[in-house]
Chains A and B, each alone.
Chain A
Amino acid sequence: MWKWLHPYANPEVSYHFTGRLLPWFSALAAILLSVGLVWALLFAPADYQQGDSFRIFYIHVPAASLSMGIYFGMAIAALCSLVWQLKLADASAAAMAPVGAVFTAIALLTGSAWGKPMWGTWWIWDARLTSELILLFLYLGVIALHSAFEDKNLAGKAAGILTLVGSINLPIIKYSVEWWNTLHQGSTVSKLGKPSMSLEMLWPFLFCFLGFAMLVAVIVCYRFRNEILARNSIRPWVRDLVSAQANHK
């Protein structure tokens, strides 16, 4: 059943496969983000209560959901790495961690900038904000572990265990606004039933969200390919690749 996946465990096959995907991801990211951001920031109607301040939604919400999505991806990679001892899974987790950390930071900073005029405070220790801050610390811990060991396999194992333990935080972030009283509002888009947003505001959001998701795919692909090259630098195929490029120039 999983036999078709086996070739991709080979670093060389994965390197060339992601190389073929990259132009598609890049083109999609460029189109979706330019359309989505212009639409969202210039043409979408202003909110009846918050006016133009609500437009930060179009960056805050994609950043926050992607910060959780990337962590989920890292948790799956960590599981594969621990159970099947796939070296590539470690490389992909190492590629995802800094991207996720940056998106978590963007979510926290944009949320804070929005919170000051709307709520009246930059920060409050409610369940949603605190659990998202813990997510940032988990990312920083994973990054630190990946670079703390000389031996990449050992580093991957240590970071993988932290990633899996920290994945408990994901449902806590997601449901914090339902389980407890928080200052942070509930979900607008990702819930069952009708989104609590008019359609002319929702469409640009979907463009922005998919655009940021594609941007993440592009950055993670680049980083993943770099990790593969760095970890296989003594292999003949990498040497061939490098000398071919050198001749090309």
Chain B
Amino acid sequence: MNPRRKKRLAIVSSVLIGIGAVAGLVLYALSQNIDLFYTPSEITQGKKDTGLKPSLGQRIRIGGLVVPGSVKRDPDNLKMSFKLADMKMPIVFNESDPMTTVYYEGILPDLFREGQGIVANGELVNHSVTGLSIEASEVLAKHDENYMPAELAESEGKGHKKATYSDKQLENKG
């Protein structure tokens, strides 16, 4: 390579490395703000690196897995509640895991089911029964990256049923 090209290559690569370092540092500094949600354990114990905890009354998002058996639906209207636990592999739920209860009123996304990942958007409140809880205004389903045909899923015992609503529940909406 002739010296002029070498010089240009050096300039371009040093600029690139510099920008890469700047971007890396900025993203590192912002990492807690880039996270879309808190996990249930982060709500009680704070973020892993910074110990940052959400305060009561703050609007936050919470993400976790719906604990099987914890979904309670009011038969007369769209009010419901469920517990969320941290997402981790393999999926096992222990009584001692940190869990947060989410209260919600409205129609759930199609992918909502027990054991599914969920992101709820709402206010952190101190509930008289369940302690630190979320009064959610929005519930989003977080899909995982696994795709499989229905027959295969059934043979692995992973069927999926959409939540259904009675006419009575829908009448009392809002």
- In the assembly, what is the distance between CA of A125 and CA of B37, in Å? 11
Q: In the bound complex, do residue B12 and residue A164 qualify as a contact, i.e. CB atoms below 8 Å apart?
A: yes
Q: In the bound complex, do residue A117 and residue B5 qualify as a contact, i.e. CB atoms below 8 Å apart?
A: no
Asked if B31 CB lies within 8 Å of chain A CBs, one says: yes
Interface residues of A in 180-236 (CB under 8 A from B): 180-183, 185-188, 196-198, 200-201
Q: Is the interface of A mostly helix, strand, loop or mixed?
A: loop
Asked if A48 CB lies within 8 Å of chain B CBs, one says: yes
- In the assembly, what is the distance between CA of A48 and CA of B110, in Å? 12
Q: In the bound complex, do residue A120 and residue B147 qualify as a contact, i.e. CB atoms below 8 Å apart?
A: no
Q: Is the interface of B mostly helix, strand, loop or mixed?
A: mixed
- In the assembly, what is the distance between CA of A181 and CA of B154, in Å? 29
A120/B35 contact (C-beta < 8 A), A46-B149, A188-B145 known: no
Q: In the bound complex, do residue B143 and residue A118 qualify as a contact, i.e. CB atoms below 8 Å apart?
A: yes
Asked if A158 CB lies within 8 Å of chain B CBs, one says: no
Q: In the bound complex, do residue A197 and residue B146 qualify as a contact, i.e. CB atoms below 8 Å apart?
A: yes
The digit string for B108-120, where 1 denotes a CB below 8 A from any CB of A, is 1111000000010
Q: In the bound complex, do residue A197 and residue B148 qualify as a contact, i.e. CB atoms below 8 Å apart?
A: yes
Residues of B within 8 A of A135 (CB): none
Asked if A98 CB lies within 8 Å of chain B CBs, one says: no
Pick the contact of B146: A45, A182, A196 (CB < 8 A). A196
Pick the contact of A83: B12, B34, B143 (CB < 8 A). B12
Residues of A within 8 A of B12 (CB): 79, 82-83, 164
Q: In the bound complex, do residue B16 and residue A201 qualify as a contact, i.e. CB atoms below 8 Å apart?
A: no
Asked if A72 CB lies within 8 Å of chain B CBs, one says: no
A46, A125, A168, A201: residue with the most chain B Cβ atoms closer than 10 Å:
A168
Q: In the bound complex, do residue A49 and residue B160 qualify as a contact, i.e. CB atoms below 8 Å apart?
A: yes
Q: In the bound complex, do residue A201 and residue B149 qualify as a contact, i.e. CB atoms below 8 Å apart?
A: yes
A120/B141 contact (C-beta < 8 A), A48-B154, A50-B111 known: yes
Residues of A within 8 A of B149 (CB): 45-48, 198, 200-201
Residues of A within 8 A of B34 (CB): 127, 179-180
Q: In the bound complex, do residue A84 and residue B147 qualify as a contact, i.e. CB atoms below 8 Å apart?
A: no
Q: In the bound complex, do residue B140 and residue A181 qualify as a contact, i.e. CB atoms below 8 Å apart?
A: no
**Residue count of chain B within 8 Å CB distance of chain A:** 42
Task: Give the Cβ gap from A57 to chain B, nearest Cβ, in Å.
Answer: 7
Residues of A within 8 A of B111 (CB): 49-50, 118-119
- In the assembly, what is the distance between CA of A48 and CA of B146, in Å? 10
- In the assembly, what is the distance between CA of A122 and CA of B63, in Å? 18
Asked if B167 CB lies within 8 Å of chain A CBs, one says: no
Asked if A124 CB lies within 8 Å of chain B CBs, one says: yes
Residues of A within 8 A of B108 (CB): 120
Q: In the bound complex, do residue B27 and residue A181 qualify as a contact, i.e. CB atoms below 8 Å apart?
A: no
Residues of B within 8 A of A54 (CB): 147
Task: Give the Cβ gap from B68 to chain A, nearest Cβ, in Å.
Answer: 16
Interface residues of B in 93-112 (CB under 8 A from A): 108-111
Q: In the bound complex, do residue A182 and residue B36 qualify as a contact, i.e. CB atoms below 8 Å apart?
A: yes
Task: Give the Cβ gap from B1 to chain A, nearest Cβ, in Å.
Answer: 9
A54, A83, A168: residue with the most chain B Cβ atoms closer than 10 Å:
A83
The digit string for A64-104, where 1 denotes a CB below 8 A from any CB of B, is 00000000000000010011100000000000000000000
Residues of B within 8 A of A181 (CB): 35-37, 39, 63
A119/B146 contact (C-beta < 8 A), A48-B152, A168-B19, A180-B31 known: no
- In the assembly, what is the distance between CA of A130 and CA of B88, in Å? 25
Asked if A172 CB lies within 8 Å of chain B CBs, one says: yes
A119/B145 contact (C-beta < 8 A), A48-B154, A181-B37, A183-B140 known: no
Residues of A within 8 A of B78 (CB): none
Asked if A121 CB lies within 8 Å of chain B CBs, one says: yes
Residues of A within 8 A of B141 (CB): 118-120
Q: In the bound complex, do residue B140 and residue A201 qualify as a contact, i.e. CB atoms below 8 Å apart?
A: no
Of all A-B residue pairs in the complex, the 4 with the closest CB atoms, nearest first, are A48-B153, A45-B149, A120-B109, A49-B160
- Taking A48-B159, A120-B139, A181-B36 as given, write out 6 further A-B residue pairs in contact, using a Cβ cutoff of 8 Å, ordered by the A residue number: A46-B149, A119-B140, A120-B138, A180-B35, A180-B36, A198-B149
